[in-house]
Structure 1
Amino acid sequence: MSKYIPGNPELVVQNMPGGGSLVATNYVYSVAKPDGLTLGMPNQSVYMGQVVGDKEARFDVQKLNWIGSPDRNTTLLYIRADTPYISMDDVIKAKVPPKCGGSGRDSSSLIFALEDLIGARFEVVLGYQGGSQTDLAVERGEVVCRSMVLGVHFSRQPFTLWHSKNFDRHLVQMGRKREDRSADTPTLYELMDRYKTPERGRQLATVLTAGENFGHPMIAPPSVSPDRVKLLRDAYAKTLKDPAFLADVKKQEFDFDPVSGEELQTLAKTVVNQPAPVIDRLKKILGN
């Protein structure tokens, strides 16, 4: 990115772990000088802390300056193919709900959202130590389904092996449009249309799926001058078109679906300005 910033400044990476990016975002928001020389790259769900009123989220995502993101992180719900649940219709009609696994409510929010938005029932077993352990539990038959990032599901083991053996099928994806690698899997929005989810539910879905559109974003502090924000956004956009960068993306098999800073800025305003009933339902899904 420095290649496209006047003076070609050196970029120094400093990891700042803690609170699911809350520590880093708090720093960018309140400590970093508003000169555009300090940037942050929080996780895609950092906005959720503010939305649900987490006291550790000492920032306003609307006031941050969003620079851009290289991708959108769509979530997918997979299930073992040897179960009787061929589609979400089968889940909704089932007398015995499928048993899904996850590490916590955050990582399984899609599953809880499906219960709220379209009436699909699941038995959810939480407490697994990460996604890999949940996948092993699926292989052992302890649970039969889990939600995860679609890009990971189509690019890593054991999933590529699973697909070669028809071990699993895909019930729903969270994006607004079908992803090419899962073109036969309906989106949450298609299901909401089919089951006539009310407007409040659609607003809830907007907040829950926002993280997928944030992807892996870059942010700058509030009060950075508009001309410097434009400089950073332009440099970021040019970086995402750089031939060497694109070659590396292809070599590493990274997902690549860029989101502009302007789109992220609008999304940030949308997710935090929701009516109280939507926030209350969101807190229930997340266990707050």
Structure 2
Amino acid sequence: EKTDRIFYVRADTPYKTLLDMRDAVEPPRCAATGLGTAAYYFPRLLQEAFGLKLTMVPGYQGAADANLAIERGEVQCWCGSVQAYFGSEPGRTWAKTGFVRVLTQGGQKRHANLPSVPTVWEFMDKQKVSDLHRRIGKIFVLPDEMGRPFFGPPGIPGDRLKALREGFAKMMKNPDVIADAKSKGLEPSLMTGEEVEALGREIGTVPPEFIERLKPLLEK
């Protein structure tokens, strides 16, 4: 299950686009769960890469609590996923009523349900952000791109690995499996084993000095 990260804000705030937050007189308060979660580090990436003025408010138990806080006006923004937003409440209702405004999304391309919302990569291209921030972004969205991968032990014979991958891909295309997933509000999307390996190679080995650069984005 691949996840597409989104960042949204209450529609009654003055922020029409993501970059409007650079000039915020009073930084919007963004809900988060723990410091090491996507709800925290994705907004921190936006803050670091584009100079946004945000106040992170960690400590919420999850998306339900964060969305309730948005409704109450305790906070104004949250980083969730396209799948949860369109697949459950209150996102389904908000998408219809326009209670919140989605400012950006973390997928490599725009999600079909959000064709007018720019990706974070589009913003990076337009703002000509550094290669450092691009690589940080790729590392941060790696768990979302992979979704929930299935792993096996090292040394699996090539013929067995091929059979497992083909069988899994066939299952993911099975109409009954797809229908069952959709009945639960899920959007199954296949990322093959070969694609997962390629993504890992693209990220490459992360040097120690780069890890040190990441640490501030995971702290208060």
Q: TM-score range by the shorter chain?
A: over 0.9
The within-5 A match list for 1:127-138 is 127-138=59-70
Paired position in structure 1 for 2:129: 197
User: Partner of 1:174 in structure 2?
Assistant: 106
Q: Find the aligned partners of 2:213 and 2:114 in 1 and give their Cα distance.
A: 29
Identify the range of structure 1 (275-284 vs 82-91) with the bigger mean alpha-carbon deviation: 275-284
Rg comparison, structure with higher value: 1
Q: Distance in 2 between matches of 1:202 and 1:89?
A: 17
CA distance in 1, matches of 2:44, 2:198: 26
Structure number with the higher helix fraction is 2
Match of 2:12 in 1: 82
| Residue 123 (str. 1) matches residue 55 (str. 2) | yes
Cα deviation for residue 269 of structure 1 reads 3.3
Deviations 1:166-221 (A, max 9, x none): 21110110111100111111111011111111111111111111111101211111
In the other structure, the counterpart of 1:160 is 92
Please give the secondary structure, in 2, of the residue aligned with 1:247. Answer: helix
* Gapped regions of structure 2 (runs ≥ 5): none
Give 3-state SS (helix, strand or coil) of 2:80's partner.
strand
Cα deviation, 1:211-236, whole Å, max 9, x if unaligned, reads 11101211111122222111110110
Cα distance in 2 between the residues matched to 1:246 and 1:125: 37
Q: Aligned match of 1:206 in 117, 131, 138?
A: 138
How many Å separate the matches in 1 of 2:122 and 2:89? 29
Does the 8 Å CA contact 1:79/1:145 hold for their aligned counterparts? yes
CA RMSD of aligned residues (A): 1.7
Report % sequence identity: 33
Aligned 8 A contact 1:98 1:145 in 2: yes
* Partner AA of 1:224 in structure 2: I
Partner Cα distance (1:250, 1:111) in 2: 29
Q: Residues 115 and 126 (structure 1 numbering): CA distance in 2 closer, same or farther, change over 3 Å?
A: same
Q: Distance in 2 between matches of 1:255 and 1:97?
A: 34
Cross-structure match for 2:117:
185
Query: What is the CA–CA distance in structure 2 between the aligned matches of 1:197 and 1:276, rounded to whole Å?
Result: 22
2:172/2:188 contact within 8 Å kept = no
Alignment of 1:99 onto 2:29: yes
2:19–2:50 Cα contact (<8 Å) kept: no
TM-fit CA distance, 1:272: 4.9
Q: 1:248 aligns with which of 158, 172, 180?
A: 180
Question: TM-score, length-normalised on structure 2?
Answer: 0.92
CA deviation map 1:25-59 (0-9, x unaligned): xxxxxxxxxxxxxxxxxxxxxxxxxxxxxxxxxxx
Aligned AA (1:82): D
Structure 1 Cα separation of the partners of residues 19 and 43 of structure 2? 14
The answer to whether the 8 A contact 1:204-1:281 is kept is no
Q: Secondary structure at the match of 1:79?
A: strand
- DSSP-derived class of the 2:7 partner: strand
SS at match of 1:164: helix
Q: What is the DSSP-based 3-state SS (H/G/I as helix, E as strand, rest coil) of the residue aligned with 2:113? A: helix
Q: Are the equivalent residues in 2 in contact too, given 1:237–1:260 (CA < 8 A)?
A: yes
Task: Tell me how far apart the structure 1 counterparts of residues 175 and 62 of structure 2 sit (CA, whole Å).
Answer: 35
1:218 equivalenced with 2:143 (yes/no): no
Relative contact order higher in (CA < 8 Å, ≥ 6 apart): 1
TM-score of the aligned structures, taking structure 1 as reference length: 0.72
Task: Output the CA distance in 1 between the equivalents of 2:172 and 2:66.
Answer: 34
Please report how far the alpha carbon of residue 249 of structure 1 lies from its aligned counterpart in structure 2 after TM superposition: 3.0
Point out where structure 1 has 5 or more consecutive residues left out of the alignment.
1-70
